[in-house]
Amino acid sequence: MKQAWLIDLGVRDYPEAWELQLDLVARRARDEIPDVLFLLEHPHVYTVGRKSRDQRREIRVGSESVPCHAIERGGDITYHGPGQLVGYPISKLPEHERDLHGYLRNIEEVLIRTCADFGIPVERRPGLTGVWTSEKISRKIASIGVAVKHWVTYHGFALNVSTDLRFFHAINPCGFDASVMTSMERYSGKPISLTHVKNQIAEHFSSVFHITLEDTPGMLFSNGQAANVTKFV
């Protein structure tokens, strides 16, 4: 089984987390480190993928001005914010497994199993990347958008746990009407611990991707920044 690091970044501004990803992508491409999974939350932010034509630098939501960043991942515009668990896997695809579609399906499987742990039935939808609730009016509970550089993946997934869904209404998230978005708490009608969700994501990520963890150094980033390094449960 491959070795990997799980890094809990807590709450990080988007540009900082983006910089950390790029740092580790370069180091992973040079085989200086194993695969990595970042888990974190962002303050309110919009990100714009390669498919979007939205060129706004900020978006007004009520009295709040929310920054908007154009990035390298696939997909359209989406929202990140408090109560949303974001995962950024930095994973080097081996030469015999360079199947990006298979990689995306595995990310979906991690999210499907995690939602099931909380009694939330979800599913894939043909032709669409992401995870949707299994009900008559299906709603999107998790989004996925990745980029690949030197066959190393970055960016990743966003699972709405207790997300303030109003922020989706300022955009057409991933090209859909904002009403399509939901969260784990919205579906279940009860509070859900983000820490508990992190633990389940880590457990299923380990199982689906067949990875184990190794000890990690205290200083992880080229710019001298450190992070909390947590083992999978």
Identify the active-site residue in 152, 174, 213, 227: 174
Question: Where in the chain are the domains?
Answer: 2-229
Top pLDDT among 230 and 99 is at: 99
Give the pLDDT confidence of 24-79 residue by residue, as tens digits.
999 999 999 999 999 999 999 998 876 666 666 788 888 888 988 887 776 778 89
Which of 72-76, 125-129, 190-194 has the highest mean predicted lDDT (pLDDT)?
Answer: 190-194
User: pLDDT value at position 133?
Assistant: 95
> What average pLDDT is seen over the chain?
87
Mean pLDDT of the region 158-187: 90
pLDDT band per the 50, 70, 90 thresholds, residue 198 = very high
Percent of the chain with pLDDT over 70: 87
Mean pLDDT of the region 120-129: 92
User: pLDDT value at position 31?
Assistant: 95
CATH of 2-229, one of 3.40.50.300, 3.40.50.720, 3.40.50.11540, 3.30.930.10: 3.30.930.10
User: pLDDT value at position 207?
Assistant: 94
What percentage of the chain's residues is helix, strand, coil (to nearest 5)? 30, 35, 35
Asked if residue 231 has pLDDT above 50, the reply is no
User: pLDDT value at position 215?
Assistant: 45
Give the pLDDT confidence of 91-101 residue by residue, as tens digits.
999 888 788 99
Asked if residue 141 has pLDDT above 90, the reply is yes
User: pLDDT value at position 219?
Assistant: 43
**Catalytic (active site) residue 115:** no
User: pLDDT value at position 148?
Assistant: 94
